[in-house]
Amino acid sequence: MPSQSKATHNQNRQELSLTSMYFNRYLLIRYTTAVFFFANLYWFILSFSSGGFIKWWPMILLIVTTAVAIEQVSKYWRRDHKLPVTKTGYLVQLISNFVALVLIVMGYGTKIFPFFGPKGVSLMTTVLLIGMGGCFYILARVHLIETDRDRYLKQIQRFAQSLQ
């Protein structure tokens, strides 16, 4: 391989490594988004036979989660650290989980989750609390990323400096 093409190849490889590292900065957010997407999809499918607004609640969350996933995928091509859709999406999910939790406490658990009987309400309460914890964690992580205070950015910067 001629030295000119070898240098170009190494530069392209280093650029691809940096691009992958920037994209992996959002890895936990992408996996958490996938978990919420499939949880909301499961809720939508099982609630579809119920009447009223309840069946559309998870559908709205599916749309929001899809928008978050699209923003996350776009981070492969854009290295900016702004995450407005992700922040809004996780805030909507957090509020939704909180409202569902309040409605369960008020006795409407079987109306919101018609596929669970009265005994399944405690399981859904646990799932909603875990979901709220996940939302809080991701929102804190988004804040660190947007203010460039996440640990992964420092590793990326060290790697970029080592390439110089």
pLDDT tens for residues 4-51?
Answer: 687 787 778 888 888 888 899 999 999 999 999 999 999 999 988 777
Coil, helix or strand at residue 116: coil
Cα gap 109→113, rounded to integer Å: 6
The structural domains of the chain, with segments of one domain joined by +, span 26-151
Residue-wise pLDDT tens digits, 7-16? 787 778 888 8
Q: How many residues does the chain have?
A: 164
Whole-Å CA distances, 96 to 9, 62, 112: 49, 12, 12
Q: State mean pLDDT over 124-149.
A: 97
**Residue 124: pLDDT above 90?**
yes
Tell me the residue type at 52.
G
The DSSP line for 128-157 is HHHHHHHHHHHHHHHHHHHTT--HHHHHHH
The DSSP line for 40-75 is HHHHHHHHTTS-GGGGHHHHHHHHHHHHHHHHHHHT
pLDDT > 70: what percent of the chain? Answer: 98
- The phi-psi region of residue 54 (left if phi > 0; otherwise alpha if psi is between -120 and 50; otherwise beta) is alpha
Q: What is the mean pLDDT of the chain?
A: 91
Per-residue tokens: 143: 């804040």
Q: State mean pLDDT over 107-115.
A: 88
Q: State mean pLDDT over 75-100.
A: 95
Q: What is the pLDDT of residue 6?
A: 76
Q: What is the pLDDT of residue 149?
A: 93
**Residue 136: pLDDT above 70?**
yes
Query: What angle (nearest 5°) sits at the alpha carbon of residue 23, between those of residues 20 and 26?
Result: 145
Q: State mean pLDDT over 144-150.
A: 94
